[in-house]
Chains A and B, each alone.
Chain A
């Protein structure tokens, strides 16, 4: 437990230290959504229906930003060897790293996403739902992203590879998350879409640590 806490604290400190990764991700998300009105025109009749979808797409892209840091640097500087000789199995290491990623990047993005959606013309009463669904989806992004980052270990230009591996896996949460907001905006209950989003997150929580640890072991050998 002590070791788990130490690793979690280290991951958070690495995410926040040296450059403020979470703020970078939030800035990236806001920039992306600010480009949309410039590209598609400022007409609210065009923008408002796309607001939920556009903010979820920006959320998925912004979640990619700090994934490269998750394992690649630890592999390069030998810290991964240290993590593998610690008391916890690699599955737990991957899980803890993904949780820290969610706390450091996913939650700040869940605060920025409703702002972006609001700016694009989403009805203000959806702010709470946007933030909550983004926080839930962010947990899925963090775990699936950890899996992708582990799979891309050791490949040259791994950062690009991560994006190509992970973005297709980010499609379901974008569909369910944006779907929940669209349904809520048209007066229907978002519960079914949120349930599907939750199912995706649970799936990622189970699969990513196991598969990610296998990929890390393979890269270490």
Chain B
């Protein structure tokens, strides 16, 4: 199980443009970091770098498990969730098919999926094709996947943006439970997160 994430003097670029230099921070079990910064400051790129999709120019992203350093690839394949702007839902498949696949693929159980469906009140939506879902409903489906397949590190990109007030409350509960269970959250946000979070302004690092 992943217990700590260390970002060590990290530099990231997109194309020719340097996003930030020398970013260092660490995140331990039960902690949340809220990434802020102007559009294009590199919040999403940092999340994608942690997930292993972008190679940093310099510095390192180090994952620590209960018994020492974890290999990055192992951590990325078994210990983190990335929830981005695109939810990866196929428009022609039903919510049940998509959620079922995602949960099974990410290592969750059928029972955990049923519990997540109840929690996020998804049962009336399960037989709809995902193209018929609203942005908020799609986000709820994605949150269900985070809950049903337990993984320690949540990388969230504007997690609350499409949700209404009531569902933001539920999302806040889910995050608090995840943190209480030793999870970690690294979230890119414009609005403040509903859980206690350390703020990390990427505009300052540059």
* B28 at the binding interface (Cβ < 8 Å): no
How would residues 20 to 61 of chain B score, 1 for a CB under 8 Å from any chain A CB and 0 otherwise? 000000000000000000000000000010011111000000
Closest beta carbon of chain B to A17's beta carbon, Å: 5
CB atoms of A6 and B93 under 8 A apart:
no
CB atoms of A87 and B104 under 8 A apart:
no
CB atoms of B97 and A13 under 8 A apart:
yes
CA gap between A74 and B78 in the complex, in Å: 20
List the one stretch of B84-92, B158-166, B181-189, B197-205 in contact with chain A: B84-92
CB atoms of A78 and B84 under 8 A apart:
yes
- Answer whether A10 and B101 are a contact pair too, CB < 8 Å, given A77-B89, A87-B77, A221-B54: yes
* A35 at the binding interface (Cβ < 8 Å): no
Closest beta carbon of chain B to A95's beta carbon, Å: 15
Closest beta carbon of chain B to A84's beta carbon, Å: 7
CB atoms of B88 and A81 under 8 A apart:
yes
* A2 at the binding interface (Cβ < 8 Å): yes
- Answer whether A78 and B106 are a contact pair too, CB < 8 Å, given A6-B101, A10-B101, A86-B77: no
CA gap between A221 and B77 in the complex, in Å: 16
* B82 at the binding interface (Cβ < 8 Å): yes
Within the complex, which residue of B82, B93, B101, B104 is in contact with A81, where a contact is CB–CB below 8 Å? B82
CB atoms of A79 and B106 under 8 A apart:
no
**Quick one: closest B residue to A5, CB to CB?**
B104
Interface of B is mostly: loop
CA gap between A107 and B158 in the complex, in Å: 44
CB atoms of A85 and B88 under 8 A apart:
no
CA gap between A88 and B106 in the complex, in Å: 10
A contact residues around B105 at 8 Å (CB): 3, 6-7, 82-83, 86-87
* B80 at the binding interface (Cβ < 8 Å): yes
- Answer whether A6 and B86 are a contact pair too, CB < 8 Å, given A13-B93, A85-B51, A85-B76: no
* A14 at the binding interface (Cβ < 8 Å): yes
CA gap between A99 and B180 in the complex, in Å: 42
Within the complex, which residue of A78, A85, A217 is in contact with B86, where a contact is CB–CB below 8 Å? A78
CB atoms of B104 and A17 under 8 A apart:
no
CB atoms of B90 and A79 under 8 A apart:
yes
A contact residues around B81 at 8 Å (CB): 85
A contact residues around B100 at 8 Å (CB): 6
Closest beta carbon of chain A to B151's beta carbon, Å: 9
Closest beta carbon of chain B to A9's beta carbon, Å: 8
CA gap between A78 and B105 in the complex, in Å: 15
A contact residues around B84 at 8 Å (CB): 78, 81
CB atoms of A221 and B53 under 8 A apart:
yes
A contact residues around B106 at 8 Å (CB): 82, 85-87
B contact residues around A3 at 8 Å (CB): 104-105, 107
CA gap between A83 and B92 in the complex, in Å: 18
User: What are 8 sample pairs from A and B whose C-beta atoms fall under 8 A apart?
Assistant: A3-B105, A6-B105, A7-B105, A78-B84, A78-B85, A78-B87, A86-B107, A221-B54
Question: Which A positions have Cβ atoms within 8 angstroms of B?
Answer: 2-3, 6-7, 9-10, 13-14, 17-18, 73-74, 76-89, 217, 220-221
Which 3 residue pairs spanning A and B have beta carbons closest together? Answer: A78-B86, A79-B88, A18-B92
Given A86-B77, A221-B54, 13 more pairs with CB closer than 8 A: A3-B104, A6-B101, A7-B105, A17-B92, A74-B88, A78-B87, A81-B51, A81-B84, A81-B86, A85-B80, A86-B105, A86-B106, A87-B77
